Amino acid sequence: MTLKRLLGLDTRADRYSYASDPVAGYVSAQKIPDKWVATTCGYCSVGCGMFIGVKNGRAVSVRGNPDHPVNRGMLCPKGLSEHHTIAADNRARYPLLRRNGAFGRVSWDEALTTMAAKFRETQERYGPKSVGVISTGQLVTEEFYALGKLVQLGIGTPNLDGNTTLCMATAVAGYKRSFGSDGPPGAYEDLENADVILLIGANVAENHPILCWRLRANPSATVIVVDPRVTKTAMLADLHLPLKPRADLALINGFIHFVIENDLVDHEYVARHTSGFEELRESVRTYTPERVSEITGLSVELICRTAWTYARARAGFIGWTMGVNHSTKGTETVNAINNLALITGNIGRAGAAPFSITGQCNAMGTREAGFASSLPGYRKFENPDDRRELAHLWSISEERIPTARGLAYPDIIEAALDRRIRALWIIATNPVVSFPNYGSLRQALESLDFLVVQDGYHPTPTSEYAHLMLPAAMWGEKEGTYTNSERRVSKVNRAVPPPDEARSDFDIFLGVADALGVRDDIFPGWSKPADAFEEWKRISAGRLCDYSGMTYKAIEQNGGLQWPLPAGKVHDGEVRRLYTDGKFQTDDGRARLLPSAWEPFPEQPNEEFPFVLNTGRTVEHWHTRTKTSKVPILERLSPSAWVEMNPADARALRLKPQARVDIVSRRGRVQSVELRVTETVAAGQLFVPFHYFEANANQVTQSAFDPISREPNYKQSAVRIEPSSTEGRLWSGGSAIRNSLSLIRSWRGSTIPILPRGSSESRARGAR
């Protein structure tokens, strides 16, 4: 199978018909749809336009939208099989309330009344901040906007955050510090305009496959990949820099040093549009190529050549993702990336951008409208003018607007552990699998008096801990908008109804507001997402993320619209970039050049734990696999977890390929994982996907967070490898048996194993 085929990029032929779906490989007559409903993919932040094929009220297929400017009809393997996520047998169907340790069905009315009563009771006893809410990057913007108002103004707790703090918080904090506001400045078209493309800790071939296609539309660009692993993206690149883990900040400071020493600085841009150049120059003085070579393990020649290539580019693009963000030095690394782009004038022009590639389908929507780490419309909690304006727009008193953000996600978990937070509402995220250091997360969840989980599936590893389970409609069943990485707002539509009593998150939020008696106050006259959209347009008007010129209709007609789009602006199809005039969102309008210093990562390997464990993704699976384990083709391609190890290390440990091994850290043990011996990881390093609860990588990751963004350091943990005690038993079967075993498991719909015992008592107590 060619790489192109593997990535699902070879799909032009089926633009107009489902009959040649390369994923299913065949189509039975029953699957030819009666109608196609236009929507946007619900997985990643690329934001591909697609149609859902509907037959007899069921989603039976999916195809790419040939007219959508993002993907021009192409879809990756996840997108192409997305309809399978809807009709899964473990969809959550009814509200469930735990009584005496067991879940029982209740009406929506009882569910929401109980929830409102529990929240109010908790707040009366322990203070307003004793309730916390953790949401996601996977709702529609209308839902994020509604949820922010509901939590901050209706429930009255500032402790609202989301899984975006496990993901994008670092990029957000970095942009705010450098440019005065969040917002990725570039556009996908930049991949086609740039002559040098530097990808740092971003494995787009697996995780943003359609961007790979955009990349390939520009064969003359020099593509440089910075990643400790030889990823599929590195294999597509002209130059791969396999640096030592977490050496990026030293590398970028080294590039800046080289640029300054060799007078490759864009002096005019620096003088007109930035502040802090002298401090920056001073701060990188010690980052000589020799020292940077020592820290990164890359040759002096490679470092200098890369710096030269980028600085001499007519248009240089830097894309980064989790290899940068998942680090205790993440925000400062983002600032270093911004510094490099600024001093070479690589921002605000076609092909030139420091561009954080986002992750989830609507990670951007929650950043714009969410009311968690900022006030809606990228307004600042600490800015009295921003608060005044918002209060005026909402016709409420200024005192109701919080003056500081509440606890960030890891701090909500910590507060649950020491019982400052007593009641928690988790919406569209699965922390039992995705949060670092599972042991402490589990304790935190067990410490709660009342946990509400709102998810499209049940059971999930997290919903097992809930006292109240609220069944949500998901992608394909609800309406609204998503914003992708290039700030393109696309329409999401309902193709089929949700199963049984499941409701859209939007309707659930209205229901909770009703139960709390605050609906008329915070959602005046609202009954549908379009009502929230109209209000959000007014709130965003005049801001960097201005939606006021958009309508649902224009969004659909244009295959999405990029913000800013002020009212009165024509929908001209023109590609929009931020900071084209060199004016930034800081007080003096200049971008800040911010010095930052490299430091080794927090948990260095030692004799007991000699390996650096790297965790991440594979193309077939989506996060905690609640969705992709329901898709037969994806599950068959990648049914179980593995760990990658260099042949030299495997020889040293006398381990054979496909042996079963345990990954052990100071915090826990991942049991019986398949060993893959491969040169794609360097000696001393390991890589494991984090998708599999049954081999949960986050049992061994650590509670180390970026002090600025609060994002976890997921990519480096010190571990050792031990032969698994089940090794003998499974060894004889080979991977065929193992694969079919896990397939059979998934057919039974029981891929989600039973949770550790010992928590039912505390759950029962809390639910009384």
Ligand X SMILES: Nc1nc2c(c(=O)[nH]1)N[C@H]1C(S)=C(S)[C@@H](COP(=O)(O)OP(=O)(O)OC[C@H]3O[C@@H](n4cnc5c(=O)[nH]c(N)nc54)[C@H](O)[C@@H]3O)O[C@H]1N2
Residues that bind ligand X (CB under 6 A): 44, 136, 138-139, 163, 166-167, 200-203, 206-208, 226-229, 231, 245-246, 248, 321-323, 326, 359-360, 427-431, 433-434, 454-457, 460, 472, 474, 505, 614-617, 619, 621-624, 626, 690, 697-698, 701, 714-715
Q: How far apart are CA 704 and CA 350, in angstroms?
A: 38
Of residues 7-46, those binding ligand SF4 (CB under 6 A): 41, 43-44, 46
User: In the complex, what is the shortest distance from the CB of residue 263 to ligand X, in angstroms, rounded to a whole number?
Assistant: 27
Quickly tell me which residue has 């955050």 as its tokens: 161
The whole-angstrom distance between residue 697's C-alpha and the CA centroid of its chain comes to 17
**CB-neighbour burial class of residue 88 (10 A; exposed 0-12, middle 13-18, buried 19+):** middle
User: In the complex, what is the shortest distance from the CB of residue 209 to ligand SF4, in angstroms, rounded to a whole number?
Assistant: 5
Residues ≥6 apart with Cβ < 8 Å to 415: 132, 159, 407, 421
Q: Which is nearer to ligand SF4, 188 or 378 (CB)?
A: 188
Residue 105: other Cβ atoms inside 10 A: 12
User: In the complex, what is the shortest distance from the CB of residue 212 to ligand SF4, in angstroms, rounded to a whole number?
Assistant: 9
Look at residue 62 and give the partner it binds from ligand SF4, Mo ion, ligand X, none, a contact being a CB closer than 5 to 8 Å depending on partner kind: none
Write the CA distances from 205 to 38, 66, 178, 523, integer angstroms: 25, 21, 29, 42
Q: 197 and 216 in contact (C-beta within 8 Å)?
A: no
Look at residue 203 and give the partner it binds from ligand SF4, Mo ion, ligand X, none, a contact being a CB closer than 5 to 8 Å depending on partner kind: ligand X
Q: Which is nearer to Mo ion, 167 or 372 (CB)?
A: 167
**CB-neighbour burial class of residue 382 (10 A; exposed 0-12, middle 13-18, buried 19+):** exposed
Look at residue 47 and give the partner it binds from ligand SF4, Mo ion, ligand X, none, a contact being a CB closer than 5 to 8 Å depending on partner kind: ligand SF4
Q: Which is nearer to ligand SF4, 74 or 539 (CB)?
A: 74
User: In the complex, what is the shortest distance from the CB of residue 690 to ligand X, in angstroms, rounded to a whole number?
Assistant: 4
Query: Is 436 one of the binding residues for Mo ion (CB under 5 A)?
Result: no
Residues ≥6 apart with Cβ < 8 Å to 754: none
Residue 260: other Cβ atoms inside 10 A: 18
Residue 409: other Cβ atoms inside 10 A: 27
Q: 85 and 91 in contact (C-beta within 8 Å)?
A: no
Look at residue 41 and give the partner it binds from ligand SF4, Mo ion, ligand X, none, a contact being a CB closer than 5 to 8 Å depending on partner kind: ligand SF4
Show the CA angle centred on residue 57, arms to residues 51 and 60, nearest 5°.
50
Residues ≥6 apart with Cβ < 8 Å to 464: 432, 755
Residues 219-237 as b/e (b if ≥16 CB within 10 A, e otherwise) read eebbbbbbbbbbbbbbebb
User: In the complex, what is the shortest distance from the CB of residue 44 to Mo ion, in angstroms, rounded to a whole number?
Assistant: 9
Look at residue 79 and give the partner it binds from ligand X, Mo ion, ligand SF4, none, a contact being a CB closer than 5 to 8 Å depending on partner kind: ligand SF4
What angle in degrees, to the nearest 10, is found between the helix axes of 169-179 and 330-343?
40
Q: Which is nearer to ligand X, 494 or 720 (CB)?
A: 494
User: In the complex, what is the shortest distance from the CB of residue 172 to Mo ion, in angstroms, rounded to a whole number?
Assistant: 12
User: In the complex, what is the shortest distance from the CB of residue 707 to ligand X, in angstroms, rounded to a whole number?
Assistant: 18
* CA-atom Rg of the chain in angstroms: 25
Of residues 204-233, those binding ligand SF4 (CB under 6 A): 208-210
Look at residue 75 and give the partner it binds from Mo ion, ligand X, ligand SF4, none, a contact being a CB closer than 5 to 8 Å depending on partner kind: ligand SF4
Task: Give the CB-nearest residue to ligand SF4.
Answer: 79
Smallest Cα–Cα separation from 256: which of 290, 195, 201, 304? 304
Look at residue 210 and give the partner it binds from Mo ion, ligand SF4, ligand X, none, a contact being a CB closer than 5 to 8 Å depending on partner kind: ligand SF4
**Alpha helix (H) residue ranges in 546-594:** 552-557
Query: Is 169 one of the binding residues for ligand SF4 (CB under 6 A)?
Result: no
**Alpha helix (H) residue ranges in 688-759:** 727-731, 734-747
User: In the complex, what is the shortest distance from the CB of residue 469 to ligand X, in angstroms, rounded to a whole number?
Assistant: 11
User: In the complex, what is the shortest distance from the CB of residue 433 to Mo ion, in angstroms, rounded to a whole number?
Assistant: 13
Q: How far apart are CA 356 and CA 337, in angstroms?
A: 10
Of residues 108-167, those binding Mo ion (CB under 5 A): 167
Query: Is 359 one of the binding residues for Mo ion (CB under 5 A)?
Result: yes
Q: Which is nearer to ligand X, 171 or 313 (CB)?
A: 171
Query: Is 48 one of the binding residues for ligand SF4 (CB under 6 A)?
Result: yes
Look at residue 455 and give the partner it binds from ligand SF4, ligand X, Mo ion, none, a contact being a CB closer than 5 to 8 Å depending on partner kind: ligand X
Look at residue 193 and give the partner it binds from ligand SF4, Mo ion, ligand X, none, a contact being a CB closer than 5 to 8 Å depending on partner kind: none
Look at residue 503 and give the partner it binds from Mo ion, ligand X, ligand SF4, none, a contact being a CB closer than 5 to 8 Å depending on partner kind: none
Q: How far apart are CA 98 and CA 105, in angstroms?
A: 9
User: In the complex, what is the shortest distance from the CB of residue 356 to Mo ion, in angstroms, rounded to a whole number?
Assistant: 11
In the three-class reduction of DSSP (H, G, I as helix; E, B as strand; rest coil), residue 197 is classed as: strand
Residue 586: other Cβ atoms inside 10 A: 17
* Cα atoms in the Cβ-side hemisphere of radius 13 Å centred on 766: 28
Query: Is 47 one of the binding residues for ligand SF4 (CB under 6 A)?
Result: yes
Catalogue the E-assigned strands of 569-651: 591-592, 611-616, 642-645
Show the CA angle centred on residue 629, arms to residues 627 and 633, nearest 5°.
110
User: In the complex, what is the shortest distance from the CB of residue 475 to ligand SF4, in angstroms, rounded to a whole number?
Assistant: 10
Q: Which is nearer to ligand X, 202 or 270 (CB)?
A: 202
Measured in residues, the chain has a length of 768
Q: Which is nearer to ligand SF4, 208 or 246 (CB)?
A: 208
Query: Is 631 one of the binding residues for ligand SF4 (CB under 6 A)?
Result: no
Q: Which is nearer to ligand X, 363 or 448 (CB)?
A: 363
Q: Which is nearer to ligand SF4, 690 or 705 (CB)?
A: 690
Contact characters 49-88, ligand SF4, x per CB under 6 A: ----------------------x---xx-xx---------
Provide the binding-site residues for Mo ion, judged by CB under 5 A: 167, 359
Residues at the interface with ligand SF4 (CB under 6 A): 41, 43-44, 46-48, 71, 75-76, 78-79, 208-210
